[in-house]
Amino acid sequence: MTRPAAFLDRDGVINLDRGYVHRWEDFEFVPGAVDAMRRLEAAGYALVVVTNQSGVARGLYGERELELLGEQLRAHLADAGVHLAAIEYCPHLPQASVAAYAVACDCRKPAPGMILRAARALQLDLARSVLFGDKQSDIEAARRAGVGRSFLLATDGVADPTGERPDHLALADAVDALLGGTARPHGSAANAAPAFDGLSSRE
């Protein structure tokens, strides 16, 4: 039996985006994020983190360091009553300094590979799923994967007056809207994605 998922970008949505975060001591949750994840899980969503991590391809840290951080995140959330069904990450970046990761992959958002991989492994119903991200590449990945709903959030839950207007500031606000029945399906003006190259962020 398939179930819906809540796909969550990591940096800027779950934790403050301080740039290539790969150590637990540098990891700080966006206010309200843990409770929002708890509410999503209670509502029947499998929680799946989908995160671009080009710091690996840039030689800033290795996959083992990234996986260790993921283990620490899982443990901390478990203590708070939140279970992560999966953490999917993409370590690639075209023209990166580490040759092994300098590939044009199918998992770096806006490509849908991480979402599709998790959907196969966990038997997820993508049409009933939702994605939360702070970049248009997140929203585009959701669209390409067939995720039913998506929310564009403000990075770190803080409005940027010079940037694009988000659907909601933080994950907690978006979860309020979702569970209240006001999430917007793909195709709405708020979720329309402009052209981009997928390489503009430091993810």
Residues known to be catalytic = 9, 11
β-bridge pairing 84-90 and 149-152: unpaired
* Cα–Cα distance for residue pair 43/39, rounded to 1 Å: 6
**Beta strands of 91-188 (E only): which ranges?**
130-133, 149-152
Select from 142, 82, 78 the least CA-distant residue to 113.
142
Helix, strand, coil % (nearest 5) of the chain? 35, 15, 50
Query: From the CB of residue 56, how many other CB atoms can be counted at a distance below 10 Å?
Result: 24
* Cα–Cα distance for residue pair 77/170, rounded to 1 Å: 18
Task: Copy the structure tokens of residue 50.
Answer: 């989908």
C-alpha atoms less than 13 angstroms from C-alpha of 3 in its C-beta half-sphere: 16
8-state DSSP, 185: B
Residue holding tokens 């999917």? Answer: 88
* Contact present, 100 and 72 (Cβ < 8 Å): no
